[in-house]
Structure 1
Amino acid sequence: MKSLKKLLPLLLLPLFAFTAVHKYYVSVTHVNYSEKDKAIQITTRLFIDDFDRLLMARYDLDAELATEKESPLADAYIEKYLRTKFLVSIDDRPVEYDFIGKRYDNDVMVCYIEIPEIDLSAIKTVEIENAMLTDLFEEQQNLVHINLKNKKKSFVLVKSRAKGMLNL
């Protein structure tokens, strides 16, 4: 029995060697219309550590997001990056959006975006291009959920296919 107790850890050790921690690279974006504000409102959730790495790799900015030492330049660079990697088109025309800001929720950064003064009844298509973090993480998947005019559609956008469209 004593030899079995000594042998058990040696037998289990190879099993633990194959249980490496797997990191998922994913963001989740919700696109909705606010009747009250007459605006398309977008929230996107990204992992803070992934975005921190991106800001360092792309802009050489040690942002230290969600810490007391967060860079005062962080919001400007987050917005700059979003404007290059997160694009919205309505009826085949690119539209400008307002970056409202961000907040932190545990290990996630939630970014708020708004397209003001939208007459939803006149819109036929909404296209979202979301290539966020695909330039740093090959496995990055960006989930987009659109809910407009009581029509819902979800997309999984990846580096090779970064656009999704909802026909209204």
Structure 2
Amino acid sequence: MTSRFFIDDLEDVLSARADENIILTEDGSLAKHKHLIGDYFTSRLRIKVDGDLIPIDYLGSEIDNDQLVLYIEIPVDREPLEIEMRFTALMELFEDQKNMVHLKIRGERKTLLMVAKKKIDSVKF
């Protein structure tokens, strides 16, 4: 899974969590704060595949212009029939935050949309 967030928004959230000023564009900052970024996203993302909770693994991130691209591994051993996701990143900062996830399985594309009033969404394939 890849996910994109504006750097300044993510810096605000991480700074509040760490109680220090986090600047992700400084040299070495992504490596220095990898654990903090990973902890934040693994606490904000929950995925069930065919009813089973799947542990996620934050692999790392990179800067692309004004966005941070995050790489998250979701290990599954078969093509899922149903995916349920709770993804609340940045919702504590922006009440109108929308987290959209596009999935493509067996050539079929579906979209999950999580918002403050509906933090969990699911799709069936």
What is the TM-score normalised by the length of structure 1?
0.68
The answer for the alignment partner of 2:73 in structure 1 is 114
Shift of 1:60: 1.2
- For 1:86-125, list aligned pairs within 5 A: 86-120=45-79, 123-125=80-82
The separation in 2 between residues aligned to 1:166 and 1:94, in whole angstroms, is 15
**Distance across 1 between alignment mates of 2:66 and 2:54:** 30
User: 1:99 deviation in Å?
Assistant: 1.1
Map Cα deviations across residues 54-85 of structure 1 (whole Å, 9 max, x no partner): 01112213221022262754110111011111
Gaps of 5+ in 1: 1-41
Once residues 114 and 83 of structure 1 are traced to their aligned partners in structure 2, the CA distance between those partners, rounded to angstroms, is 11
SS at match of 2:29: coil
CA distance in 1, matches of 2:112, 2:75: 24
Deviation (angstroms), 1:117: 4.9
For normalisation by structure 2, the TM-score amounts to 0.90
Q: Which has the larger radius of gyration?
A: 1
* Residue 59 of structure 1 pairs with residue 18 of structure 2: yes
Query: Unaligned stretches of 5+ in structure 2?
Result: none
Identity %: 29
| Alpha-carbon contact 1:82-1:132 (below 8 Å) kept | yes
Matched residue count:
125
For the residues of structure 1 that align with 2:17 and 2:96, how far apart are their CA atoms? 18
